[in-house]
Structure 1
């Protein structure tokens, strides 16, 4: 699985949870809580599993400091784009999409870090295995 595919799944996970359109879990769940509670719980659990997979893998591979560092790099890139006039943060919808994009990049880097590190250094990461 390539980095782009990992990023795409992270982006879909975040955008499915919340985005500035009416097509997201949060708005749907608020609207349908009283009439479709079993579906709200099911879809909420499915999203939670996705977050557990991504966040656990990210914390195990780059840790909290790594997440902050990747977020800072993405933030600096966005700052440069804003400074050159390529981004405008006055539109809340665009800002929300940029936030989703930034968070999905952090999660994708975390999920892909072992592969990136192996390609850069030649070292293989392994998990501790209990017998």
Structure 2
């Protein structure tokens, strides 16, 4: 259940920032820049901090190589689905949602990695602190 909540949080965050509909931060900020500039900046900073929390935690737990490997696994899975004819990549909106899904799964895995590793190995994960 914990992983699902972390993944859902990442998915909702990424979809709030950008998605193929007109209901997202980027589209709203473009359309309302002149009349809502302070609110756009305020909400943009909040979204940036939330995204940074996910990104920093992911990079600390799985690193850039882990993120690349996870992305490659999902890309290979999409390639298989496309090769089998189950998925067509000619729909740009679908491609955007798939990108959001894959990125959110990477962030969700990154946020959950230390918990999963602890359960599999039985070893605690701690941050190194310089004294």
TM-score category of the 2 structures, normalised to the smaller one: over 0.9
* Cα distance in 2 for residues equivalent to 1:125 and 1:93: 39
4+ runs deviating over 3 angstroms: none
Which residue number corresponds to residue 85 of structure 1? 85
**SS in structure 2 opposite 1:34?**
helix
How far the C-alpha of 1:129 sits from its partner, in A, is 3.0
What TM-score do you get using the length of structure 2 for normalisation?
0.96
* Cα distance in 2 for residues equivalent to 1:122 and 1:6: 22
Which residue number corresponds to residue 116 of structure 1? 116
Which residue number corresponds to residue 43 of structure 2? 43
**1:51-104 CA-partner distances (Å, limit 9, x unpaired):** 110010001000110110111111111111112222111000001000100110
**SS in structure 2 opposite 1:60?**
helix
* Cα distance in 1 for residues equivalent to 2:99 and 2:43: 22
How far the C-alpha of 1:44 sits from its partner, in A, is 0.2
> How many aligned positions are there?
131
Cα RMSD (Å) of the superposition? 1.1
5+ residue gaps, structure 1, are: none
* Cα distance in 2 for residues equivalent to 1:123 and 1:16: 36
| Aligned ranges 1:7-86 → 2 under 5 Å | 7-86=7-86
Which residue number corresponds to residue 96 of structure 2? 96
Between 1:76-85 and 1:91-100, the stretch displaced more is 76-85
Which residue number corresponds to residue 127 of structure 2? 127
* Cα distance in 1 for residues equivalent to 2:80 and 2:6: 25
